[in-house]
């Protein structure tokens, strides 16, 4: 397997990948039609996202032609182990959220892996993350530090209650955001209890807005 191809997706593990080849960024992604132009072709995205909101953003960036390198923990992204599973044993959820991306399994606390990530960020156009506020800084990849070192870098952080506000440290799963925003109060019957929208709409919308913001800054 060449180290610039999309890693095969497995249920139990992540195949390791060496450092990407940056001189191939102008090539269209393998999942895209090579005969069509794409608006973000040639851009490199370093993807620290997980679950749904962040992966939605970076999946859209990949669909628009960007090369997206998805950084996963050594044991693989949690959603690799979420059903339903398709015939080859891989997670349908993971495939939907991460189609068109390349994956690399790293320990961000390991000095060697940390240095590799910094090297990728130095060559990147966009970084996207949706950890709880403060985690990227503790890992040594804080927004202020990275943007200062790499002024042309677009650094997108997706969170439920912002990066600096009084609720910034609060968990923000989709159900919580639907309740706090009032969406559940306007859903359901007039005389009934607040009702959750069936899909994870706040996660998906957050991802779409992140994609829109990235595209605006890229233009």
pLDDT at 166 (0 to 100): 92
Cα–Cα distance measured from residue 48 to residue 129, given in angstroms and rounded to the nearest whole number: 5
E strands, 66-211, in order: 67-72, 102-105, 126-129, 154-157
- Is residue 112 a part of any domain in this protein? yes
- pTM, rounded to two decimals: 0.85
Task: Clarify whether 35 is annotated catalytic.
Answer: no
Question: How many structural domains are present in the chain?
Answer: 1
Residue pLDDT, tens place only, 148-189: 999 999 999 999 999 988 999 888 889 999 999 999 999 999
CATH classification of the domain holding 88: 3.40.50.10540
pLDDT at 172 (0 to 100): 87
- Is residue 195 a part of any domain in this protein? no
Q: How many residues does the chain have?
A: 219
Domain encompassing residue 105: 22-165+204-218
Burial (CB < 10 A; 0-12, 13-18, 19+), residue 165, is: exposed
Which residue among 47, 77, 125, 203 is the active-site one?
Answer: 203
Q: How confident is the model at residue 15 (pLDDT cuts 50, 70, 90)?
A: very low
């Amino acid at each position: 397997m060449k180290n610039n191809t999309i890693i095969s997706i497995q249920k139990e593990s992540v195949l390791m990948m060496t450092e990407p080849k940056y001189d191939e960024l102008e090539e269209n992604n393998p999942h895209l039609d090579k005969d069509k132009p794409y608006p973000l072709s040639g851009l490199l995205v370093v993807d620290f996202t997980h679950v749904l909101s962040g992966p939605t953003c970076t999946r859209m960036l990949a669909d628009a032609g960007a090369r997206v390198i998805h950084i996963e923990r050594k044991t693989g992204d949690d959603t690799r182990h979420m059903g339903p599973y398709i015939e080859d044993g891989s997670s349908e959820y993971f495939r939907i959220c991460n189609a068109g991306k390349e994956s690399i399994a790293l320990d961000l606390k390991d000095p060697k892996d940390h240095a590799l990530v910094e090297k990728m960020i130095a060559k990147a156009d966009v970084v996207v993350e949706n950890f709880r506020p403060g985690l990227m800084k503790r890992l040594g990849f804080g927004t202020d530090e990275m943007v200062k070192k790499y002024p042309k870098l677009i650094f997108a952080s997706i969170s439920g209650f912002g990066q600096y506000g009084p609720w910034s440290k609060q968990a923000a799963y989709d159900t919580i955001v639907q309740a706090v925003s009032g969406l559940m109060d306007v859903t359901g019957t007039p005389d009934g209890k607040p009702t959750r929208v069936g899909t994870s709409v706040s996660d998906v919308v957050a991802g779409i807005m992140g994609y829109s913001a990235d595209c605006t800054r890229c233009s």
